[in-house]
Structure 1
Amino acid sequence: MTIAAVVTAAGSGSRLGADVPKALVHIEGRALVAWAVARVREIADAVVVTAPPAHLGAFVEAVDGLATVVAGGQTRQDSVALGLTALDLADDDIVLIHDAARAFQDPAIMAATIAAVREGADGAVPVVPVVDTLVGAPGRDGVLGDAVNREALRAVQTPQTFRAAVALDAHRRGTAGATDDASLARELGYRVVAVDGHEWGFKVTRASDLPLAIAIAAQLEAP
């Protein structure tokens, strides 16, 4: 059984204020995608990165032989499907689908998702509690929407991990436009379970996320 991973890395970086794809932004001397690949390589035997077609050379240089780089598609869903194809998976392999923007996710969380699949789940997803007060969107009159019970909600992280046959089937038959891979699998009736996520699995999205990313990277680099 092979443990493999697809790392999607096609974000534009516009919200980060970068002039390169987000995954090429450097944190403590290494591209974000390089951090993501290094972390997932602690768990996975084979890694494919899906990158913007115009920047393949830069991504190959960034991952420095730790992953195979292939061109991504028009959407994240397209990119994941291309990555799965590039891995040439057997049905009983296990595949992690991860985002380069969540570059610092704890490998122990990745291992927990794998363990859940080995124990019989079709897929496993790390989740964390929602800490903010939540309300419905304001109406046209500007009145605040009703409060939402945050205890009933969880925020989803990656990697989302599946038996390979499940991931392949979900991307073959699932509805276009799904926001994540677990949604594709669940709509087909597959059993996807939750594991506890980690605060380091946050998504680097805006410039305000960079100080935390830098602090984590510095901690990982410390002797």
Structure 2
Amino acid sequence: MTIAAVVTAAGRGTRLGSATPKALVPVAGRPLVAHALDRIAPLASLIVVTAVAEDIDAFVDAVEGRADVVAGGDSRQASVWAGLTALGARGLQPSDVVLVHDAARAFMPTSAMREAIAAVEGGADAAIPVIPVVDTLVTAPRVDDSYGAPVDRDQVRAVQTPQVFRASALVAAHEAAAGREATDDATLVRDLGLRVVATEGHPWGLKVTHAGDLALAAFIAANS
């Protein structure tokens, strides 16, 4: 059984305020996508990075020979499908395991990835790392901007990546989506009635989104 990975890195990084695609933004002297591969490459023997089409050459340099690079799509879902298609051309089999990871979560520890992989190897169709929510949560404000209703944070979790799948489940979920967009791949797999389990995530699996996140990312890079 092969363990493969799709690392999505086709985001523009608009909220980060960078003229460079987010996955190429340097942290501790190296692009985010290189840090992501540091942690995922020990686990996956086949890796595809989906990149901003106009910057393919820069991405090829950034991955340091550890992954194939293909152009991503107009959405994250389309990018994942492009990555799956590339893995299929490399011999991906239905029984293989596929990690779908965001380059923006470059510092997710390998130990958390291993736990999710083990859950799929143990029989789940998908495994999703999650962490508790520490903020007070409310529903969206009403039309008049009045305070929303409280949400019991013990009943919710924040979802991280890599999400891990049996290859057959992930491919079937994308084929069944038929253009319907979802915020993550686990939603598509769950919609098929397949078994999706939660595993323990890690605070260092944060998603680099805003400029302020880069300072924390640099701290993690220096201490992991």
Give the TM interval when normalised to the shorter protein.
over 0.9
What's the counterpart of residue 102 of structure 1? 105
* 1:219 maps onto 2:223 in alignment: yes
Q: Secondary structure at the match of 2:42?
A: coil
Equivalent-residue separation in structure 2 for 1:12 and 1:131 (angstroms)? 29
Aligned AA for 1:186?
Answer: R
What's the counterpart of residue 185 of structure 1? 189
- TM-score calculated relative to the size of structure 1: 0.97
Q: Unaligned 5+ residue runs, structure 2? A: none
1:126 to 113, 125, 129: 129
What's the counterpart of residue 44 of structure 2? 44
What's the counterpart of residue 165 of structure 1? 168
Q: Percent identity?
A: 58
C-alpha contact (below 8 Å) 1:94/1:163 kept by paired residues: yes
Q: Give the C-alpha shift of residue 46 in structure 1.
A: 1.1
What's the counterpart of residue 156 of structure 1? 159
Per-residue deviation, residues 74-111 of structure 1 (Å, max 9, x unmatched):
11100100101101210110000000000000101111
2:210 to 187, 206, 218: 206
Kindly report structure 1 stretches of 4+ aligned residues shifted beyond 2 Å.
none
Q: Give the C-alpha shift of residue 134 in structure 1.
A: 0.4
Equivalent-residue separation in structure 2 for 1:197 and 1:174 (angstroms)? 27
Please provide the CA RMSD for this pair.
Answer: 0.8
Equivalent-residue separation in structure 2 for 1:30 and 1:60 (angstroms)? 14
Per-residue deviation, residues 109-133 of structure 1 (Å, max 9, x unmatched):
1111110001110000000001000
Equivalent-residue separation in structure 1 for 2:129 and 2:177 (angstroms)? 21
- TM-score calculated relative to the size of structure 2: 0.97
C-alpha contact (below 8 Å) 1:5/1:44 kept by paired residues: yes
What's the counterpart of residue 34 of structure 2? 34
Equivalent-residue separation in structure 2 for 1:56 and 1:44 (angstroms)? 22
C-alpha contact (below 8 Å) 1:72/1:82 kept by paired residues: yes
Aligned AA for 1:138?
Answer: P
Q: Secondary structure at the match of 2:161?
A: coil
2:177 to 174, 184, 188: 174
Aligned AA for 2:144?
Answer: D
What's the counterpart of residue 15 of structure 1? 15
How many matched pairs? 220
Per-residue deviation, residues 23-73 of structure 1 (Å, max 9, x unmatched):
000001110011111210021111100001101000000001011000011
Aligned AA for 2:14?
Answer: S
